[in-house]
Amino acid sequence: MSQTTMYTVSSSPHIRVKETTKSIMRDVVIALLPATFASVYFFKLQALLVILISVLSCVGAEYIWQKATKRKVTVGDLSAVVTGLLLAFNLPPAVPLWIPVVGGFFAIIIAKQFFGGLGQNIVNPALVARAFLLASWPTAMTTWTLDGVTTATPLAALKAGTQAPALMDVFIGNVGGCIGETSALALIIGGVYLLAKRVIDWRIPVSFIGTTLVITAFAGRAGNPLYELFAGGLMLGAFFMATDYATSPITPIGRLIFGVGCGVITSVIRILGGYPEGVSYSILIMNLFVPLIERWTTPKIFGKVK
């Protein structure tokens, strides 16, 4: 008598991976550490205080909201920590310390929890909070300091036609700007880590950065095309914010379209707009097009009859 093999049929998903939300967020935090250390090195104690307050505000806002609404507390998944870090990276180092508190609560409660929590938000919470803070307190959000001296960002100097910092200073981060965007070197190290760990897909950052390079090089604003890549928040946005799982396409072609769209909008704002930087707004605008992009690029189910 032959032996019968018994199989267990379970509900989907049938293909599982070992990664969890917590492990993915932990990798993102690790990838952000080089930029964190660089920001503290260049902007000193004030940058560290802004980072700590921003992270604690986001974690606290998530805990308070979930407790108040009698939902499961999920601060242990580290997603609020990542939001806090990204929010801090988008703030000037000399910003009043109540700004990251307001921004943290806005990012978590308004931009994330109001839409259902992790994975349900339609736009990047940290970028929405930055846009809200910039519209509400523009002076505080556009005052840049380096070594205690007020200075212009490289892109602002470029747009104004004044003397811009050297390319090497822009690359390593010894310039004025937001806390976490100035050191392209540190951000590239973190981005390579995420790519090596397969936390993010190469399509969005490569198409985003490549499109910006081509358009700005054609416009010829800077003598060296690399200047536009290393200055401003392009590296931060391309590697860490445009690749957000909840607000970016899931299809390979869709990711390329998304990255190209971000690059086009960023370049148009930088070249033609009154604002020197366009990364944040380009990502927010393209976030809104993600449902349409996925609708256009999702493969048709084999055998499906319309």
What does the pLDDT look like over 95-153, one tens digit per residue? 999 999 999 999 999 999 999 888 889 999 999 999 999 999 999 999 888 876 778 78
Q: Which regions of the chain does DSSP assign to beta strands (E)?
A: 145-146, 149-150
Check residues 13 and 135 and name the one with the higher pLDDT: 135
Judging by DSSP bridges, how do beta strands 149-150 and 145-146 pair with one another?
A: antiparallel
DSSP 8-state code for residue 245: G
Query: d(Cα 208, Cα 242) in Å, to the nearest integer?
Result: 9
Contacting residues for 80 by C-beta, under 8 A, at least 6 apart: 55, 58, 59, 61, 62, 108
The dihedral through the CA atoms of 44, 129, 209, 212 has a sign that is negative
Angle between helices 203-219 and 252-272 (to 10 degrees): 30
Which runs of consecutive H residues, i.e. helices, occur in 69-165? 79-89, 98-105, 125-136, 138-141, 154-160
86's tokens: 């990204």
Count of CA atoms in the C-beta half-sphere (13 A) of 264: 8
Kindly list the domain boundaries of the chain, sorted by start residue: 21-296
Closest by Cα among 84, 91, 102 to 140: 91
Q: Which regions of 153-302 does DSSP assign to beta strands (E)?
A: none
Check residues 230 and 10 and name the one with the higher pLDDT: 230
Q: 21-296, what's its fold?
A: Ammonium transporter fold (1.10.3430)
- The model's pLDDT over 210-226, given as tens digits with 9 standing for 90+, comes to 999 999 988 877 667 88
Beta carbons within 10 angstroms of residue 138's beta carbon: 10
243's tokens: 């690749």
- The model's pLDDT over 181-200, given as tens digits with 9 standing for 90+, comes to 999 999 999 999 999 999 99
